[in-house]
Amino acid sequence: MLRFVLDEDVQVSLAAILRDAGHEAVHIQDLGLKGAGDEEVFAEAQRRGSVLVTGDIGLADLRLLSRADHHGVVLLRMPAELPTDAMNREIMRLLRRVPEPEFSGSIVVVEPGNLRVRRMTDA
């Protein structure tokens, strides 16, 4: 079971799907942090021991993630025109391919039909 914090640019519906899959998941707006800066959002995910899910390329900034001891970031690079339900299905299908220990200290880039895992120790 993983813990996830979803950034404000991620559909709220993904949190429920992650919970249905047996994970803990909370959307940043439910934490009262809507509009918070990247560093604050990242710090909250780390405080909660959670993988941060975001579409914000700024949150995958290597300077922010320069240490390998973070809980992980999932960077969603999905087309905006993809319907939410199709997007959520694709995200879940791809995330199931990543073993839980691989999230810690990594950036997982999720694109339609593809994912890449970059360990920060590889940076």
- Where are the domains positioned within the chain? 3-122
CA distance 70 to 86: 29
- Alpha helices, H only, 1-123: 13-20, 38-47, 84-95
| Second-level CATH architecture of 3-122 | 3-Layer(aba) Sandwich (3.40)
Residue 64, C-beta contacts closer than 8 angstroms, at least 6 positions apart: 38, 39, 42, 58
- How would you write the pLDDT of the chain (123 residues) with one tens digit per residue? 999 999 999 999 999 999 999 999 999 999 999 999 888 999 999 999 999 999 998 777 656 666 657 899 999 999 989 999 999 999 999 999 999 999 998 989 999 999 999 887 644
User: Around 7, how many Cα atoms within 13 Å sit in the side-chain half-sphere?
Assistant: 24
What is the pLDDT at residue 123?
47
What is the pLDDT at residue 57?
85
51 phi, psi to nearest 5 deg: -80, 130
Closest alpha carbon to 71 in 28, 107, 29, 21: 107
What is the pLDDT at residue 59?
73
